[in-house]
A and B are shown apart, each in its own frame.
Chain A
Amino acid sequence: MPSAIELERRAIRKRLDRRRIAVAAASSIVVIGGLVAIVVTSPGWPTFQQTFFDWGYAREVLPGIAEGFKVDLVVVFFSTILIAAMAMAIALLRTTRAAAFAPFRILATLYVDLFRGIPLLLVLYLIGFGLPALGISWLPTNPAVLGTIAISVTYSAYVAEVIRSGILSIHPSQRAAARSLGLTQSQTMRHVVLPQALRRVVPPLLNDFVSLLKDVSLVSVLGVVEGVRRAQIYNAESFNYTPYVVAAILFLILTIPLTRFTDHVLARSIARQNAQGNA
């Protein structure tokens, strides 16, 4: 049974909490309400509403855009697999100390320098139009496939650097502890360093993934008709921008839950490992 003092403390805590919630609510209403008011009362609001939020038209174009959006998803799916494999390989090559891998280390560094430095659009053109131009018979010619390769090439350079920074952030004492147990260099990497490093880089990786989700629509420059391109076609027919909004909403439906989910997973893993406290 709590003492009178503890009961009073709980009452005070509750009161302070209530005050915090009230302040948060009031400030939210003022800020968000203010922003909404500014937009809704603007002179162009009715026209704006019609060109960007025509719900009747939205329903009409939704099936077509959704169809195109499927292409985006397929490209995301395959490029994610490619990126994960390539980025991991590059990150490992760049952090390995084995002498025999020296040339690969240099190549990996060059690869990162090169493809991180060239705009994605140029890489798309280079691979999308350049590869077929070589006339090698066994190379793919499907623009969606070429687009997937181009995106994977650029993104693997970025993601490799994120993974490498995670690997480098693990304290050397962890490596020492693992090696002293008799684990080899690569076992140490696989069982001790990488699991910690990857957990640490989940937020930046998610960042890259969300950015990938949006960038896949760039494959449309190779002639692939995906979601955004489809919206563009509708827009060209009707001069109404609602199809773009529909495409934007489709992307958001994907990215927002994903972000929340990852935050949740991360919070849980942190809570599991760290002692609780008031700090």
Chain B
Amino acid sequence: MSATPATPVLELRSVRKSFGTELVLRDVDLVVAEHTVTVLIGSSGSGKSTLLRCVNQLEQIDDGVVLFDGIDIADPRVSHDDVRKRIGIVFQAFNLFPHMTVLDNITLAPRRVHGVGRAEAEARALELLERFTLADKASQYPDRLSGGQQQRVAIVRALTVSPRLMLFDEVTSALDPVLVNEVLAVVRDLRVDGMTMVIATHEMGFATQVADEVCFLSGGVIVERGTPEQVIREPRDPRTREFLRRVHEAGRL
């Protein structure tokens, strides 16, 4: 189905999620328009990852609505698989399949889920690998690659089926600063392509560069949101200020 230009790709209305007695998301609202980048910041445990996992239906929400292209995907009658076919997600720990080569990792979903032929799937995979200077790694196994290379492969794996929305869950948290840059460069590239993305990250400099909107989460609530200039340069809420001050102290701004 094609959405009207006014329909955002993703919209969360009063999404609530708890684990046991702990409320992780408290009535979160979020709108992500097509071709925009939303960056989620906040300390660990603030609910960033859970929010992304709820979008991808890896967690079942307790209340609220998750609209993907205007359709409530939290509805039990909506197939999770169909939703996930159109949403790419990249995890902090890469989660590549260690028993498959890079090429097989990337072509698994196109071939098994999307019914693309082997030749076509591999051509597309190689094209993407080429673009991210990974072409020579196609026949390697993930364990033989550096963390940055593995994460870029994971991005290619999510990207190869041309998802409508990409989710990034602290994709650089397991990487050293040099490798961080090679991964972030890929994300910047995708922004130029017009990919709609929601990114949870601790990299404030990166957030400032790529975000159309920055949301600061604290205790499962979006405490402050706005352009990077507003939220990161001139935060108004004391909790945002405190968080950014601590990030600054850690030398990451």
Output the least CB separation between B71 and chain A (Å): 13
Count of B residues near A, CB < 8 Å?
A: 18
Query: Once the chains are docked, how many angstroms separate the CA of A9 from the CA of B72?
Result: 11
Query: Once the chains are docked, how many angstroms separate the CA of A16 from the CA of B78?
Result: 12
- Cβ of B72: which chain A residues have Cβ within 8 Å of it? 5
Indicate if the CB atoms of A6 and B58 lie closer than 8 Å. no
A41 at the interface (CB under 8 A from B): no
Query: Once the chains are docked, how many angstroms separate the CA of A12 from the CA of B19?
Result: 22
- Cβ of B53: which chain A residues have Cβ within 8 Å of it? 277
Find B58's partner among A2, A9, A13, A278 (CB 8 Å cutoff): A278
Query: Once the chains are docked, how many angstroms separate the CA of A277 from the CA of B169?
Result: 15
Output the least CB separation between A19 and chain B (Å): 11
Indicate if the CB atoms of B58 and A279 lie closer than 8 Å. yes
Query: Once the chains are docked, how many angstroms separate the CA of A5 from the CA of B27?
Result: 14
Indicate if the CB atoms of A277 and B58 lie closer than 8 Å. yes
A3 at the interface (CB under 8 A from B): yes
Output the least CB separation between A21 and chain B (Å): 15
Indicate if the CB atoms of B75 and A12 lie closer than 8 Å. yes
Find A16's partner among B62, B64, B74, B76 (CB 8 Å cutoff): B76
Considering only residues 39-86 of chain B, those with a C-beta below 8 Å from chain A are: 53, 57-60, 62-65, 72, 74-77, 80
Name the residue on A nearest B27 (C-beta).
A3
Indicate if the CB atoms of A277 and B59 lie closer than 8 Å. yes
Find B75's partner among A9, A171, A278, A279 (CB 8 Å cutoff): A9
Query: Once the chains are docked, how many angstroms separate the CA of A155 from the CA of B213?
Result: 64
Q: How many A-B residue pairs have CB under 8 A?
A: 32
B14 at the interface (CB under 8 A from A): yes
Query: Once the chains are docked, how many angstroms separate the CA of A277 from the CA of B74?
Result: 15
Name the residue on B nearest A277 (C-beta).
B58
- Cβ of A5: which chain B residues have Cβ within 8 Å of it? 63-65, 72
Name the residue on B nearest A2 (C-beta).
B63
Indicate if the CB atoms of B76 and A13 lie closer than 8 Å. yes
Indicate if the CB atoms of A9 and B80 lie closer than 8 Å. no
Query: Once the chains are docked, how many angstroms separate the CA of A16 from the CA of B60?
Result: 16
With a 10 A CB-CB cut-off, give which of B53, B63, B72, B75 has the most chain A CB atoms: B63
Considering only residues 250-279 of chain A, those with a C-beta below 8 Å from chain B are: 276-279
With A277-B53, A278-B57 already in contact, the answer to whether A6 and B76 are too (CB < 8 A) is no
- Cβ of A12: which chain B residues have Cβ within 8 Å of it? 75-77
Query: Once the chains are docked, how many angstroms separate the CA of A5 from the CA of B13?
Result: 11
- Cβ of B59: which chain A residues have Cβ within 8 Å of it? 277-278
Query: Once the chains are docked, how many angstroms separate the CA of A16 from the CA of B80?
Result: 15
With a 10 A CB-CB cut-off, give which of A3, A12, A276 has the most chain B CB atoms: A3
Name the residue on A nearest B63 (C-beta).
A6
Indicate if the CB atoms of B14 and A9 lie closer than 8 Å. no
Output the least CB separation between B90 and chain A (Å): 15
Query: Once the chains are docked, how many angstroms separate the CA of A9 from the CA of B66?
Result: 12
Name the residue on B nearest A171 (C-beta).
B98
Query: Once the chains are docked, how many angstroms separate the CA of A5 from the CA of B74?
Result: 10
- Cβ of A276: which chain B residues have Cβ within 8 Å of it? 19
Q: Which residues of A contact B (CB under 8 A)?
A: 2-3, 5-6, 9, 12-13, 16, 171, 276-279
If A12-B77, A278-B59 are given as contacts, then 18 extra A-B residue pairs at C-beta distance below 8 Å, sorted by A number, are A2-B62, A3-B14, A3-B63, A5-B63, A5-B65, A6-B63, A6-B64, A9-B74, A9-B75, A9-B76, A12-B75, A12-B76, A13-B76, A16-B77, A171-B98, A276-B19, A277-B53, A278-B60
Of the A-B pairs whose beta carbons lie under 8 Å apart in the complex, a sample of 21, sorted by A's number, is A2-B62, A2-B63, A3-B14, A3-B64, A5-B64, A5-B72, A6-B62, A6-B63, A9-B75, A9-B76, A12-B76, A12-B77, A13-B76, A16-B76, A16-B77, A171-B98, A276-B19, A277-B58, A277-B59, A278-B57, A278-B60
